[in-house]
A and B are shown apart, each in its own frame.
Chain A
Amino acid sequence: MLNLLLEIGCEEIPDWMLGGALEYLGGAVGEFLKSRQLGGESIRTDATPRRLVVRAANVASRQTDSEERIWGPAKNAPAPAVAGFAKKQGVEIAQLEVLSDGKAEKYSYVRKIQGQSAVNLLSAAFPPLILKTPFPKTMYWPGKNGPRFIRPIRWVVALLGDEVIPFEIAGVKSSNESSGHRKLGAGRFAVNHANYEQRLRENFVLLSADERRDKIRAVPIRYRCDNELLNTLVNLTEWPTPITGSFDRQFLSLPKEVLITVMRHHQKYFSVEAPDGSLAPQFVAVTNTDGDPDGLIRQGNERVLKARFNDARFFWDTDMKKPLVERVPDLAHITFQAKLGSYFEKTERILALVRELGGGADAERAAFLAKVDLTTELVKEFTELQGVVGGLYARAQGEPEEVAIAIQDQYKPESMEDAIPRSAAGRFLSIADKLDTLRGCFRIGLIPSGSKDPFALRRAAQGIVKILVEGHFRLPIRSLLGDDAQLQEFFLDRVCYYFREIRDFKYDEVNAVLASGWSDLVDVEERLNAVREVRPTANFEPLAASFKRIRNILRQAQVDGAAGPVHPERLESGPEADLYRAFERVRGETATLDYRGALAAIAGLRPAVDLFFDKVLVNAPDPDLRRNRLTLLHNMLVEFSTIADFSEIVTNF
C-alpha cells in the first residue's frame, strides 16, 4: 500500500477560495480511488495561497485482477462464426468452452481482466479532475481554448509511492519537484512522502493552516480578536510573521470606528486594545516574511497607515465644516432609484412613516438626518461605514445621544446574526427605512427573483421581522405592508424563514400558527411557543387529527361563513350533548387563560371529540339535526383556531 501526494502549484489563489477548492479536491480524489477499487485512507487536504494539496494513505499500487465470461455464438453456429469469435478474443478455438448460459448452449470464454496500475489510472484521471475544481471566477491562459483555472498552474507534484504519476496539465508536466516561498525558498526542490512537509518548511512554507494561524496569534500584544480577518491572513501567507507598528496618538481623536475600518478593511491590520479596552495607537500587520530585522516593513506599513489616517482626517474636517442639517437639501441630488426619486424624497417618506408608527421625537429627528451622511466625503471613501459615520457626525454636532445612536444603527441588522438596533428610536428608523424600500420596489416591479436581489429586499424584510420579534414591537405589519399581494407573500416567506431556520420551529407549527393570522409578529411568537410546549402532551396531536377531520367534513358539507348558533334543544343527549357542554366550558376557560393554558384546555377536549366521532353520525338523515351538528363543529373550529390552525399540524393519526 502506497502514499499518494498531489500538489497543484499555482499563482496566488484568492484567500477566500481555498476552502471550497480543497473540499472539492479531497472529495473527488477520494471518490476516484474508491470507484476504481484503489483503497485510499486518511485523505487530507491543505492549502497555501500558492498550492492545493491532497494526500492519501493506503492506496493500492494496482487493481486486483478479475475475470469475465464472454458469451459467443450458439453451439450449432457455422464454423466461421465460431472462428471469428475466437479470433476476436485472441484465442484458439480449442480454448473455447461450450456451456449453457441458462437458455442455450453457447461457445464462451473466460477473459482474465488484469487490474490496471494505479499510476496509469491516476495519470489519466488527474488532469480533468483538477480542472473541474469549482471556482467562483476562473480565467483561461495562455490563450483561447487553453485550460480554465483560478490562476495559472505553474507546477504539479504527483507521487504514488516513489513513482511520479506522469501527466501534463496546462503545459506543465507533473514531477516530484515542489517550489518554496517566492522570495525565501528555492524555486525547485525534490520531495517525497516522508520529507514533504519538512522540505516545504525548510523553504519557508508552512503547509498547515493551523500552524500558520498559531504563528499569527503568537503576538505578545492584546489585539482585537477577529476570526474573519485571521482566516484571511492565514490564507494570504505561506510563512506568516506578525509585526507590531504604531501610529501617532493624535489620530486617536478620530472616531475609533473610522480608525478600525481603515486598519481592518483597507490594510488588513488587527487593531490593538489598551488595558482599559480603549483603542491603542498600535496595530498588528501580518507579513509573508521571516521577520523584519531592520524595521523596514514596519516603517513602510506605518507610513501607509499614516497617509490613510491623514486622508480620513482630511475628510472628517472637510465634512464637519458643513453640518448634517445643512446638508439635508443636498440629498435631492443623490438618486435612490430612478423611479423612486432621490434620497431627499426617501427621507420624507421615512419621516412620515416614523410619525405614523409613533416613533417619537428622537426617531423623527434621526429619520430626518439618517441619509445625510451619503453626502459626506468620509462615506464616499468608506462606503461600508454609512450610517455609522452619520451617527458620529450627529454626536459631534451636538445632536441628542438617542438620535446619534439611532442613525448609527439604521442599517442593522445587516444579517441574521447581527444584532437589532440598540434603541427604540433606532428600531423605528430601521423598520421605516426598510419598509419604504420594500413598498417602493414592489410598487415599481423591482421584485427579487432567484439570486437577483440588487436592493437586498430579502435582507430588508428579514431585518424587519427580526426587529419586530426580538424588539417586541407590536406593529400591525400586514397593514403596514399595504395591500400588495406579492409583497405580502414575499414578506410572509421571510416570516416563515425566520421562525423555521433561525428559531428552529417545526414547519407545520409555523404553518399552523401563521394560518391563524400574522398581523402581530410578537403575538405569532407567543402562539408558536405555546404550540411548541403543548405539542408533546398526549391529547394534542390526536386532537389536531380530529380538527383535520372536522375541516374535511365541513368542506364536504359545504359549510362556510357564519353558521349561526347551535340549538341546544336539538342536541342528542350523550356524546353530542357532552361535546357541546365541554365546548362551552372550554370556551369559557380559554377567555381567561394565556395561550399555553388555552391550548392545554382545548387539547383536553380530545376524549369528548373522540367519543362524538365514535358514536354520533354527523350526516344525520334529519336535515335540522345534521345542520345543528355541522354548526357545532364549525363553531368549535372557528373558536379554537385563533391560536393555530390545528389542521396544519402533521400527525400520525
Chain B
Amino acid sequence: MAILNAPTFQEIVFQLKKYWGDRGCIIQEPYDVEVGAGTSCPETFLRALGPQPYRTAYVQPSRRPADGRYGENPNRLYKHTQLQVILKPTPADVIDQYMGSLEAIGIDLRKHDLKLEEDNWENPSLGAWGVGWQVMLDGLEITQFTYFQQCGGIDLDLVPAEITYGLERLTAFLQGVDSVYDITWTQGVTYRDVRFQDELQYSVYNFELADVPTLWNLFDIHESEARRLLRLYADSEDKGRFPLLATYDHVLKCSNLFNTLDARGAISVTERVATIGRIRKLAVGVAESWLEQRLQQNAALRTAEEQAVC
C-alpha cells in the first residue's frame, strides 16, 4: 500500500539538509573513510570536543558488516544511510526543532504517535557515551537522540545533542513500503536498483571471502601507523600543523576492520574485549591530542552560524 505523493528518498535528504541548514548547521558531505556510524566521523567525534560551539548536519553511509543479509532481508542492511545532526551546545528547544524537521518532510505529528523512550548510547571503542532516547513514531524507531557526555573518555565542555535519523526506515514509513528495497529513490528508480549489488557483494565478501589473516594484518598496520603518529605528535615542536586528522583516519580503518573480522566470526569473546581496548586507546589518544591542539591554536571557528548559536 505505497502512499502516493510521498517524498522520494533523495527528496527527504534534500529537505532535511535544507531544514537544518536553515537552522545554522554547516551542511557537510559524507566522510570519505568507511565508518559504522555518523558518530565516528571527525565532524562529530572531534568537533564534540572542546569549548567551540558547532552545528553540522550530514548524510553518512554507515557500514555494519554483521548486519549484511545478501540483499534478502527487507529491513537489514550492510550499509544503511544516516542523517547526522550535531547541535553544540544544545538549544533549549531542541526537541521542538527536531519535531519540526519531521513535519518538514511531511509527517503531521498531530496524526501520529511520537514517543521518546529511554535509550542510552555507548561506543566503547571510541570511549564515547551519552544519554537519550530512541524516538518511536507509530511504533517504529526512526531516530536516536543522544546528549553526549564523553568522547574519547573526555568530559565534554559543551554538551551536543546528536540526532541520528535512520533514512531508510523513515522513507519506508513515509512511502508506506514494507521493504527498504521498494523505496523510491527518485522517480522511476528504486532503492534496489541503486543498492542491491552493494548489499549482495559486500555480504559475500564479509561473510565468505574476506581473508582473516589479511584483515588482521591490515589492522596491525593501521594501528601501528596511528601509534607512530601519536608518538610523533607528543614530541612535535609545532603541534599546530600536526596531522591528527590523518591519524584519526587510521583509527577509523581499525574500527572498520574490527567490524569486518567480527562479522567473519573471527573474534573470540576475550579477543573482542582486548581489540576494542586497542582501538579505544588510539581514539582516546587522538581525542586528547586534538583537544590540546585546538586549545593551543585557540582557533575557535568564527562563522555566522556560530554567532547564531550563541
List residues of chain A with CB under 8 Å of any chain B CB: 11-12, 14-15, 49, 137, 139-144, 146, 151-152, 154, 171, 182-184, 236-237, 267, 269, 285, 287-289, 292-294, 296-297, 299-301, 303-307, 310-311, 314, 333, 335, 338
Report B-chain residues with C-beta under 8 Å of the C-beta of A307. 74-75, 178
Report A-chain residues with C-beta under 8 Å of the C-beta of B159. 139-143, 146
A144 & B157 in contact (Cβ 8 Å cutoff) = yes
Q: Which residue of A lies closest to B272 (CB)?
A: A335
A300 & B99 in contact (Cβ 8 Å cutoff) = no
Interface membership of B269, Cβ < 8 A: yes
Report B-chain residues with C-beta under 8 Å of the C-beta of A267. 139
Q: Which residue of A lies closest to B75 (CB)?
A: A307
B120 & A11 in contact (Cβ 8 Å cutoff) = no
Interface membership of B228, Cβ < 8 A: no
B110 & A184 in contact (Cβ 8 Å cutoff) = yes
A301 & B157 in contact (Cβ 8 Å cutoff) = no
Report A-chain residues with C-beta under 8 Å of the C-beta of B75. 307, 311
A237 to B117, CA, bound (A): 10
B270 & A311 in contact (Cβ 8 Å cutoff) = no
Interface membership of B200, Cβ < 8 A: no
7 A-B pairs with the lowest CB-CB distances in the bound complex, closest first: A300-B138, A14-B118, A287-B113, A12-B116, A301-B139, A304-B139, A143-B158
- Given A183-B99, A305-B139, A139 and B74 contact (CB-CB distance below 8 Å): no
Interface membership of B268, Cβ < 8 A: yes
Report B-chain residues with C-beta under 8 Å of the C-beta of A304. 138-140
Report A-chain residues with C-beta under 8 Å of the C-beta of B265. 333
- Given A183-B99, A236-B117, A307-B74, A143 and B270 contact (CB-CB distance below 8 Å): no
Interface string of B100-119 (1 = CB under 8 A from A): 00000000011111111110
B90 & A300 in contact (Cβ 8 Å cutoff) = no
Given B73, B111, B114, B130, which contacts A294 in the complex, CB threshold below 8 Å?
B111
B120 & A137 in contact (Cβ 8 Å cutoff) = yes
- Given A151-B131, A182-B95, A335-B268, A140 and B157 contact (CB-CB distance below 8 Å): no
CB distance from B262 to the nearest CB of A (A): 13
Report A-chain residues with C-beta under 8 Å of the C-beta of B173. 300, 303
CB distance from B59 to the nearest CB of A (A): 23
A82 to B29, CA, bound (A): 80
B157 & A183 in contact (Cβ 8 Å cutoff) = no
A335 & B117 in contact (Cβ 8 Å cutoff) = no
Report B-chain residues with C-beta under 8 Å of the C-beta of A154. 92
13 pairs, CB–CB < 8 Å, chain A vs chain B:
A15-B118, A140-B149, A141-B89, A146-B159, A184-B110, A236-B117, A285-B113, A296-B112, A299-B1, A300-B139, A300-B173, A303-B176, A304-B138
A287 to B109, CA, bound (A): 12
A143 & B157 in contact (Cβ 8 Å cutoff) = yes
Given A140, A269, A300, A311, which contacts B73 in the complex, CB threshold below 8 Å?
A311
CB distance from A458 to the nearest CB of B (A): 23
Q: Which residue of B lies closest to A146 (CB)?
A: B159
A121 to B95, CA, bound (A): 34
A310 & B74 in contact (Cβ 8 Å cutoff) = yes
A152 & B140 in contact (Cβ 8 Å cutoff) = no
B138 & A301 in contact (Cβ 8 Å cutoff) = yes
List residues of chain B with CB under 8 Å of any chain A CB: 1, 51, 73-75, 89-90, 92, 95, 99, 109-118, 120, 130-131, 133, 137-140, 147, 149, 155-159, 173, 176, 178, 265, 268-270
A183 to B99, CA, bound (A): 9
Report B-chain residues with C-beta under 8 Å of the C-beta of A311. 73, 75
B131 & A139 in contact (Cβ 8 Å cutoff) = yes
5 additional A-B pairs beyond A182-B99, A183-B109, beta carbons within 8 Å, are A15-B117, A140-B159, A144-B155, A288-B115, A296-B111
A305 to B138, CA, bound (A): 10
B139 & A139 in contact (Cβ 8 Å cutoff) = no
Report A-chain residues with C-beta under 8 Å of the C-beta of B109. 183
Name which of A143, A171, A292 has the most chain B CB atoms within 10 A of its CB: A143
Given B74, B90, B155, which contacts A152 in the complex, CB threshold below 8 Å?
B90
Report B-chain residues with C-beta under 8 Å of the C-beta of A11. 95, 116
A68 to B115, CA, bound (A): 57
B90 & A12 in contact (Cβ 8 Å cutoff) = no
A303 to B180, CA, bound (A): 13
Report A-chain residues with C-beta under 8 Å of the C-beta of B117. 12, 15, 236
Report B-chain residues with C-beta under 8 Å of the C-beta of A300. 112-113, 137-140, 173
Given A12, A296, A303, which contacts B133 in the complex, CB threshold below 8 Å?
A12
A287 to B265, CA, bound (A): 41
A338 & B120 in contact (Cβ 8 Å cutoff) = no
CB distance from B197 to the nearest CB of A (A): 22
Q: Which residue of B lies closest to A333 (CB)?
A: B265
- Given A305-B139, A307-B178, A310-B74, A152 and B92 contact (CB-CB distance below 8 Å): yes
Report B-chain residues with C-beta under 8 Å of the C-beta of A184. 110
A143 & B89 in contact (Cβ 8 Å cutoff) = yes
Given B120, B149, B178, which contacts A306 in the complex, CB threshold below 8 Å?
B178
Name which of B51, B90, B117, B265 has the most chain A CB atoms within 10 A of its CB: B117
Report A-chain residues with C-beta under 8 Å of the C-beta of B155. 144
Name which of A146, A299, A300, A338 has the most chain B CB atoms within 10 A of its CB: A300
A144 & B156 in contact (Cβ 8 Å cutoff) = yes
A146 to B89, CA, bound (A): 12
Q: Which residue of A lies closest to B158 (CB)?
A: A143
Report A-chain residues with C-beta under 8 Å of the C-beta of B156. 143-144
Report A-chain residues with C-beta under 8 Å of the C-beta of B158. 142-144
A269 to B51, CA, bound (A): 43
CB distance from B198 to the nearest CB of A (A): 21
A297 & B113 in contact (Cβ 8 Å cutoff) = yes
- Given A137-B120, A139-B149, A142-B90, A183 and B114 contact (CB-CB distance below 8 Å): yes
CB distance from B145 to the nearest CB of A (A): 9
A237 to B90, CA, bound (A): 24
